[in-house]
Amino acid sequence: MSMFWGLCMKPNRKYTQTIVKSFHISGAALDDGSSAKLYITADKNKYIVATLNKAMPQVPLDLNFCKGDKIMFQTTGDANVSLIGYLHDSDLSDDEDYDDDEYAALADKLQKKGAEKESDEDEDESDEEEEDDDKLAAEYSSFLEGDESGEEEEDDSEDDDEEGEEEEDEESDDEDTPKAKKAKIAESAKKPAKEQNGVSKGDQKQQQQQQQKSKKDKKAAAPEAKKEQPKAKDNKQQSAGERTIAGGVKIQDLSAGTGPEAKQGKRVSVYYTGRLKSNNKTFDSMQKGNGFKFALGGGEVIKGWDVGVVGMKVGGKRRITCPAHMAYGARGHPPTIPPNSTLVFDVELKAVH
């Protein structure tokens, strides 16, 4: 249920606040005195909201203010003014509005995690195969250690450098090799080079270098594949193009305009189609003539439009998704718009006056 909200304003006083809970002003009434004017300052713009006197002591209003907005009320004249309205019960409705989006985002996130997990498992399997190849290479290269120790003086300095690097790789691989396998390798290393699988010493060196080179190429390719995955995610997010602005309003530019830009305080003309997000049913549309004209930021339309149209250029098209508290709130707009409805508008900016 909505809770009552009220404010008694003394003559020629200013009341400034940063809103902590969204509320709606339903009317203003003249109290003691003969006349008064009511002003509201929002987004650095000052607006006259009502003129009260004895002939018109009370006027109805339909103003919505959102959490986080900074506003100022001010009166002029010799009379006290009473503002009445109610607090939005938008905490629950906002949660309901965003449930579908949150669930969709969560499902998408879980799917991405599953894809990453599968790719990690494939990489782990390839790493295990590489480790098996490395162990075989270590076994194969260890056959050379016994015979090469007596022939090191015959090799030139370049061969010595290559053997030093190869021995370091072999030592790291040997640490993972079981002790029983090391014993077999030591025994086989004592045999002459010609008896080892019928392969000469020069051929063994060449095969060992090729195996190590292929190993390094595989390890270098793995991190590059991982880096490409987040790039694909970024491209997907950029293609969506939807962003959230003040009051939870979401905007998405369908096509960019090239004419004058719509700014606060300007009068603009638009074509539009409005539909309910819940069932995609169209409740209002204007696509002919001079379009719908209003003062941007003047409170003549729902607040979602006042913030959502800002920044458009003539000829551009934009999709504006307005949560309930930035549209018609808990009351709705019977019979076409139910209470607590999220509305989606496709807007084309026709002119800036």
Q: Phi and psi of 21, rounded to 5°?
A: -150, 130
For residue 289, give every residue at least 6 positions away whose Cβ sits within 8 Å of its Cβ, in sequence order, or none: none
pLDDT value of residue 212: 77
State mean pLDDT over 71-88: 89
Question: Counting beta carbons within 10 angstroms of the beta carbon of residue 25, is it exposed (0 to 12), middle (13 to 18) or buried (19 or more)?
Answer: buried
Residue-averaged pLDDT of the chain:
76
Please spell the DSSP secondary structure of 197-239, one letter per residue: TT--HHHHHHHHHHHHHHHHHHHHHHHHHHHHHHHHHHHHHHH
Distance (Å, rounded) from C-alpha 345 to C-alpha 284?
9
Question: What's the predicted TM-score (pTM) here?
Answer: 0.36
229-288 tens-digit pLDDT? 544 444 444 435 899 999 999 999 999 999 999 999 999 999 999 999 999 999 999 999
Indicate the helix (H) or strand (E) that contains 304. Answer: helix 303-308
**Backbone angle region of 198, left / alpha / beta, with phi > 0 → left and psi within -120 to 50 → alpha:** left
Contacts 24+ apart (CB under 8 A), 162-168: 162/209, 166/141, 166/208, 166/209, 166/212
pLDDT value of residue 310: 95
pLDDT value of residue 21: 83
Please spell the DSSP secondary structure of 314-345, one letter per residue: TT-EEEEEE-GGGTTTTT-BTTTB-TT--EEE
51-65 tens-digit pLDDT? 999 899 999 999 888
Mean pLDDT comparison of 137-146, 162-171, 231-240, 273-282, highest-scoring range: 273-282
| Band of pLDDT at residue 154, cut at 50, 70 and 90 | very low
Length of the chain: 353
Nearest Cα neighbor of 248 from 346, 342, 324, 323 is: 323
pLDDT value of residue 1: 60
